[in-house]
Amino acid sequence: MKIVEQFKAKRCVFSIECFPPKQTTQMEKLRGTLFAMKDLQPDFISVTFGAGGSAGGVSTVEVADLIQNELGIPALAHLICMGNDKTSAAKILDELEQVGVHDVLALRGDRTPNRPESPDFAHACDLTAFIKSYKPGFSVHGACYPEGHPEAENLRQDVENLCTKQAAGAEHLVTQLFFDNMHFYRFLNLARRAGITLPVSAGVMPIVKRSQIERTVALSSASLPSDFTRMISRWQDDPAALYEAGIDYAVRQLRDLIEGGADGVHLYAMNDAAVAKKVYDGIRDLL
């Protein structure tokens, strides 16, 4: 069953995100992590973009191949605009097709010093349209931002941009992580009123280490509700307590989303099978 078809068949689709190791020597560790995650029965696993090759890392294609063909779980491969042109994107799409992966999450990608702007894809909708034209049989998925993209003037403008992404061929949306569910419900209401009909998976990341806090918030631009900041203030100097409190916060957040009618929930597990299992144990009765 294709990933998009699962949203018609299930009340709430459960998925997990992983990322390729920076070194090929770490691939066996990731393999063990993914086989442990298989026990959680995710409906699909997404893989963030990793070019691999000369940099010494593992590519997205390698990990997607493992997920789809060894684990038997549908894989969703990320592909970004930054650093890619039509030629390099086509090569990656060909490689994905060769291993039987036909689901791609089209993203602009973060601007970094070692990733030049794409000459062909200014926005994710451009990459979406290219994938649909080059590989018509592929399903293209997109990202969305419950609090608005950091570069958008406001949330309404960002929702209008989503309409362009939908028109370009996107079939499903995954949100950036957030910590306050009210932002998600408000965003979803605006999106539906604007004509966005795609299923939306709500992305949640358990914060279980002090080192995650500033880095995660800086990268995501997510606002922090008072319940979350109180949790951090209370337990930030007690690693064991923060771990348990972070799991509990994510479980409560996910339970509310599932009971609130979310099409799907997407767990940003940071390649941590133990965290993923604890969170899954807290929501499995609702799935």
Three-state secondary-structure class, residue 124: helix
Q: Output phi, psi for 81, to 5 deg.
A: -75, -45
* φ and ψ of 173, to 5 deg: -120, 145
What H or E segment, with its residue span, contains residue 91? helix 86-98
* Pair of tokens at residue 17: 């995100």
Annotated catalytic sites, by residue? 17
Residues in CB range of 128: below 8 A, 6 or more apart: 106, 140, 142, 165, 168, 169, 170
Fill in the amino acid letter for 109. G
- The dihedral sign for the CA sequence 117, 123, 128, 130: negative
Query: What's the token pair of residue 142?
Result: 């997109």
Is residue 173 a contact partner of residue 138, using CB atoms and an 8 Å limit? no
Nearest to 35 by CA among 45, 26, 21, 50: 45
Rounded to whole angstroms, how far apart are CA atoms 131 and 137?
9
